[in-house]
Each structure stands twice: as structure tokens, then as C-alpha cells.
């Protein structure tokens, strides 16, 4: 049975959504929000604030309180590294709570056919083309490039004439010229150009990666690429529940296998469980079957949640050597299909697999959630019994206490009364309706 692939555009409100569905199942997702934060693709006129020659890197002031980090090799060769010197940079990776945004001095602009980079000199052609096609395009395009230009030809260029590709390069050169004019009038560090996600560019990328996309549906007729119009795509295609599922830690597969996904400060962790999976196979065969079934969903979840950096996968144990090799081979095949660089390491001695995925932007979880103010992001709160013990200690710490008014939630009160303590104190209770266990001593008398 043919599985229908379709791209859904929801862009009639302030927040935009792009989704690629296969028979209603989410394969790709992009969230688009207006943001004042330092984002991938933003271009700044930056000042060198500090140079660290031990690591061949520098810290940049982007204007105001905004900072960034740059490797010195990622600046034009002619740039003189001195404190206070200024250069235009482009953000290549967004910052985190513990890392500054990463910048490069080799700025790039792109369209459907070409990525043009200033400050370097090379020519790369999409590996989707045959070696003969790549060689032909190198001969045709190399003479067009200037000494400080580098270019990457996308696979779609193979469908075009050399004149059309040349025109695409000239169009990008004009954008560089406009940028230089903006920078030329600046004296202070600051934002020069805010990157706005181009729906057309993302759609084009998806159509190249999934050539069997059958239609593009939009609720915004301003979109330059679409085949069908629908009034409310966000709700018609049930994007809200699909997005909410991507924020949940547990994923249940159709065969009963489950994944548990958790983010820590240093890495992502994915735990594979048999859950409700049933089989009459031998144990080692069952474990391999479960892990192979989980592999495709793991890669899909990594892509949809935009997970990056170090990813550790704890597959179900009990496989033999053949099973381990099959799972590794499957993961490598799946990772090689991803257009975001994803590398698979071998299983560790303890049976854990490590992946690394190139980081550019924040994950979906980081973008749409904040740490819980109750548990401070730990996912855990004190139990009612623990708070009952704490309340006992606090009451007993008062010298000669005869009366106390305590505001308390019912589970904490119940746990405290079960302890049968502090009976010499006249306790007045006020029941609170907070959803989490809580107490507060309001008034005391000795």
C-alpha cells in the first residue's frame, strides 16, 4: 500500500508550524516563532572581547549583553586578531544555559540551488549526484567563483542549466553586497540581520529528501509553494496532539515496545523497554527483534524533538553478538539517511550505544517548556511523609512551644497525624488546596 506523504503549512497566526506527514504520521516538524534571542543564521557586527590562544578561540561581544564564541580558524584569513577588532559573523549554533552561541566569520547565504560562503574558497557538489555529474558541475561552476567565495551545489542544481545556477550565484552575491553596505555604516557591535526561517527553503529541503511528497497544504495563501488550500490546517491535521506527544517522556510503539526519553544537562538518554511486547521466540531473538523495531522510532523521535549533542541509548539487553551487530548496522543505515549529521558509535561494554548529532538549534523541549518552578526541573517533589517528618522537626525546634497555626495540604496532615507526635502542642490546622504536598507554620505561641 502506498503511503501518502504531504507537507502541512500552518502560518495564519503569529506562531507558525511546518509538518511533513506520512499517512497522517509525523515525519518532520518545524516550529517557527518570532524571537529576539540569538538564533542560528543571525548576522552580527561583532567586537573581539577576549582572545584565548591556548584553544585558538575568541569571545565576541555581539552588542549589549549578548556574547558569542568563535574558533579563530572560522574567520577570514586576512582578519587581524586583536582585542576590540570588529568583524561580521553569523551564528551557527544557539547558546544554552552553560554554553555561548557559536559564531563563524565565514558567512553564508543559500537558495534552492546553491549555498554561497564568503571568506573561504572551495566548491562542493551534492553527493546525491553521480560522480560524472559532480565532475561536470565542478568544471562549469569553478571558473565563476571569486577568490574569496566557496559554494555548495545542491542536488536540485542537476535539474537546472548552468545559466540558471549562475543566476542563483549572482543573486546570492547581491545579498552579500547588500550586507556589506549595511555593515559599512556601522561603528558599534550589534545585530545586522535577523534570520527568519524561510518556509520555502525548508519545504524545498524536505521535497529533495522525500521526493515522493504528493502535495503541500497551507492555510496561508501568501505561501509561495503549495498545491492545496485548507482553512485551518493546524487543527484539521491534528498537529496539537502530535506536538504534545513529542514533549512526553514515554513513547509506546504499535507492537507494545516502549521508549523512555529524558534530557539531562550533559546528554539525552533513551531507554528501550519490552513493555507489552509478546513473542514465542528465544530470548536472544526476542531482544534483537525488539531493539530493531525500536531503532526506526528512536531516529524519528531524535529528528522530531531536534535532539542533539550526546545521545545514549540503552537497548534491551540479552542479545547475542549477531543481534548487537544487526542493531548497530540498522542504526548506521538510519543515521546515514538523516540530513543532520548523526554519527553512531559502537556498543559499550555495558551494552549502551552512543550517538552524536550536530547541534544548531535548541531542542523542541527547550523551545516550548521551562523548568517546573515547584521541582526546579528535577521532576521530583518531596513526598507528604517526608514533609510530615520535616514539620515534626520544625515544631520540636521551638523552645517551649504551646500553640501553632499550620497551613497544610491534606496528604501532609494525614501523614503527620499518623506519626502521633507533638501531642503536647495545641495545633490549629488550615487545609490548603495546593496540588503538591505543602505546609507552612503561620503563627506560634510559647
Rounded CA separation 61/48 (Å): 6
pLDDT of amino acid 5: 92
C-alpha R_g of the chain: 28
What is the reported pLDDT for 35?
80
Q: What is the pLDDT of residue 222?
A: 75
- Place 257 in a pLDDT band, splitting at 50, 70 and 90: confident
Q: Which of 40, 198, 20 is nearest to 111 (CA)?
A: 198
* Across 319-348, average pLDDT: 92
- Binning the chain into helix, strand and coil, the percentages to the nearest 5 are 30, 30, 40
The pTM of the full predicted model, rounded to 2 decimals, is 0.77
- Whats the size of the chain, residue-wise? 446
Least confident segment among 105-119, 295-309, 323-337: 105-119
pLDDT in tens, 90-107: 999 988 878 899 999 999
3-state SS, residue 18: strand
CA-CA distance, 268 to 261, in Å (whole number)? 7
pLDDT in tens, 22-45: 999 999 999 988 888 888 889 999
Residue 282 pLDDT level (bands cut at 50, 70, 90): low
pLDDT tens column, 188-226:
999 998 887 778 778 888 887 888 888 999 998 777 677
- pLDDT tens, residue by residue, 414-446: 999 999 999 999 999 999 988 899 999 999 998
pLDDT of residue 272: 94
Residue 89 binned pLDDT confidence (cut-offs 50, 70, 90):
very high
pLDDT > 90? residue 52 = yes
The answer to whether 103 touches 92, Cβ cutoff 8 Å, is yes
- Domain 40-196 carries which CATH code? 2.40.50.140
In the predicted structure, residue 277 carries a pLDDT above the cut 80: no
Read off the DSSP letter of residue 428.
Answer: E
Percent of the chain with pLDDT over 70: 98
Write the burial class of residue 237 (CB in 10 Å: 0-12 exposed, 13-18 middle, 19+ buried): buried
The answer on pLDDT for 175 being more than 80 is: yes
- Using the structure block, give the residue that is written with the C-alpha cell 579563530: 72
| Residue 267: closest CA among 299, 223, 200, 312 | 312
Q: Domain 247-368: give its CATH architecture.
A: 3-Layer(aba) Sandwich (3.40)
Question: Residues 317-338: what's their mean pLDDT?
Answer: 92
Domain definitions of the chain by residue range: 5-35+212-238, 40-196, 247-368, 384-445
Q: Which three cell numbers stand for residue 248?
A: 512526553
pLDDT of residue 200: 78
Amino acid at each position: 500500500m502506498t503511503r501518502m506523504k504531504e507537507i502541512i503549512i500552518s502560518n495564519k497566526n503569529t506562531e507558525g508550524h511546518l509538518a511533513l506527514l506520512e499517512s497522517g504520521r509525523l515525519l518532520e516538524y518545524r516550529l517557527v516563532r518570532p524571537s529576539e534571542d540569538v538564533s542560528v543564521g543571525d548576522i552580527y557586527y561583532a567586537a573581539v572581547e577576549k582572545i584565548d590562544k591556548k584553544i585558538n578561540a575568541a569571545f565576541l561581544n555581539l552588542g549589549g549583553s549578548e556574547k558569542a564564541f568563535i574558533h579563530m580558524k572560522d574567520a577570514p584569513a586576512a582578519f587581524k586578531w586583536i582585542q576590540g577588532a570588529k568583524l561580521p559573523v553569523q551564528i551557527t549554533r544557539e547558546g544554552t544555559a552553560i554554553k555561548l552561541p557559536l559564531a563563524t566569520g565565514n558567512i553564508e547565504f543559500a537558495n534552492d540551488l546553491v549555498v554561497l560562503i564568503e571568506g573561504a574558497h572551495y566548491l562542493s557538489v551534492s553527493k546525491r549526484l553521480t560522480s560524472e555529474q559532480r565532475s561536470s558541475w565542478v568544471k562549469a561552476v569553478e571558473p565563476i567563483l571569486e577568490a574569496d567565495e566557496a559554494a555548495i551545489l545542491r542536488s536540485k542544481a542537476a535539474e537546472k542549466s548552468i545559466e540558471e545556477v549562475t543566476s542563483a550565484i549572482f543573486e546570492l552575491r547581491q545579498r552579500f553586497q547588500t550586507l556589506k553596505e549595511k555593515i559599512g555604516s556601522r561603528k558599534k557591535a550589534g545585530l545586522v540581520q535577523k534570520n527568519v526561517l524561510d518556509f520555502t527553503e525548508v519545504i524545498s529541503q524536505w521535497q529533495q529528501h522525500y521526493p515522493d511528497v504528493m502535495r503541500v497544504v497551507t492555510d496561508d495563501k501568501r505561501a509561495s509553494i503549495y498545491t492545496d488550500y485548507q482553512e485551518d490546517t493546524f487543527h484539521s491535521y491534528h498537529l496539537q496532539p502530535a506536538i504534545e506527544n513529542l514533549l512526553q517522556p514515554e513513547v509506546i510503539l504499535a507492537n507494545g515496545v516502549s521508549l523512555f526519553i529524558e534530557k539531562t544537562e550533559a546528554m539525552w538518554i533513551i531507554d528501550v523497554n519490552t513493555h507489552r511486547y509478546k513473542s514465542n521466540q528465544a530470548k536472544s531473538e526476542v531482544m534483537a527483534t525488539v531493539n530493531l523495531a525500536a531503532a526506526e522510532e528512536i531516529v524519528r523521535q531524535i529528528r522530531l524533538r531536534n535532539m542533539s549533542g550526546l545521545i545514549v541509548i540503552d537497548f534491551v539487553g540479552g542479545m547475542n553478538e549477531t543481534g548487537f551487530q544487526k542493531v548497530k548496522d540498522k542504526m548506521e543505515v538510519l543515521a546515514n539517511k538523516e540530513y543532520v549529521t548523526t554519527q553512531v558509535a559502537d556498543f559499550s561494554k555495558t551494552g549502551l550505544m552512543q550517538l552524536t548529532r550536530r547541534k544548531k538549534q535548541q531542542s523542541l523541549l527547550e523551545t516550548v517548556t521551562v523548568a517546573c518552578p515547584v521541582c526546579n526541573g528535577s521532576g521530583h517533589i518531596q513526598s507528604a511523609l517526608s514533609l510530615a517528618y520535616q514539620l515534626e522537626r520544625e515544631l520540636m525546634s521551638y523552645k517551649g512551644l504551646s500553640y501553632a497555626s499550620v497551613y497544610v495540604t491534606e496528604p501532609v496532615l494525614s501523614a503527620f497525624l499518623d506519626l502521633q507526635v507533638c501531642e503536647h502542642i495545641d495545633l490549629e490546622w488550615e487545609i490548603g488546596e495546593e496540588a503538591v504536598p505543602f505546609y507552612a507554620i503561620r503563627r506560634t505561641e510559647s
